[in-house]
Amino acid sequence: QQQQQQQQPQQPQQREGLAPKGTEDEPRDFTKVPQEMNNRFEVLDVDHALRPTIISPGKVWTKRTQKSLLAKPTESILGSDEIKDEKDSAFDLLDALTKSGALPIEHAALHIIVAATHCFDKTVMEAAVQDNVNPIEKVERSTLIMASTVHALPPARLIREAQQARVKAASSALFIEDTVGVQRQ
């Protein structure tokens, strides 16, 4: 009985990284987020202004270390070979701490960066004056497409109630449930 009582608190109803309520209770495959985002761009970005952006780290990194808690920090420049060695060391440490994955890592956070570029055909002033278009609404739509994909929530859940009518008027396609492809909770 004690084992059952100990195991119950370890099974929260909604864990981070899982699919939202209403879908299967499986871990989300974060490697598919960029493709999901591209698919959403094609369907929902009527101006075709969003483009995927590849972020490439530099070839030279700066390493800041401290030998002990009271020691002065030091900096060193790492080239590609040193970067590879440092990455390998970090993964070796992770492997040792988790006993090759046998021990779970609790209370850890995974940070993922997903980027897109919003391209404008005209300057802000040209869009506002010549075309009578509010460029802020375009960027807002782009942001909602990305945020709803990353958070796996419908755009309506990401917007304050007081702003929903305004955003729906400017970007009605975001609020069509079948087109968005995100189940409402």
Give a three-class secondary structure readout of 86-112.
Answer: HHHHHHHHHHHHCCCCCCCCCCCCCCC
8 Å CB contact between 151 and 144: no
The pLDDT of residue 109 is 85
- pLDDT at 6 > cutoff 80: no
Q: Range with the lowest mean pLDDT among 18-32, 80-94, 106-120? A: 18-32
Q: Range with the lowest mean pLDDT among 6-20, 40-54, 63-77? A: 6-20
Q: Range with the lowest mean pLDDT among 4-13, 61-70, 107-116, 129-138? A: 4-13
- pLDDT at 77 > cutoff 60: yes
Beta bridge partners of 157: none
Closest listed residue to residue 39, CA positions, set 181, 184, 185:
181
Mean pLDDT throughout 70-83? 95
| DSSP character at residue 21 | B
Cβ count within 10 A of residue 133: 15
8 Å CB contact between 55 and 67: no
Buried b (16+ CB within 10 A) or exposed e, 145-159: bbebbeebbbbbeeb
Tokens standing for 159? 């917007």
| DSSP strand pairing (61-65 vs 116-118) | unpaired
Closest listed residue to residue 159, CA positions, set 174, 181, 179, 138:
174
The pLDDT of residue 86 is 95
Tokens standing for 112? 């993922």
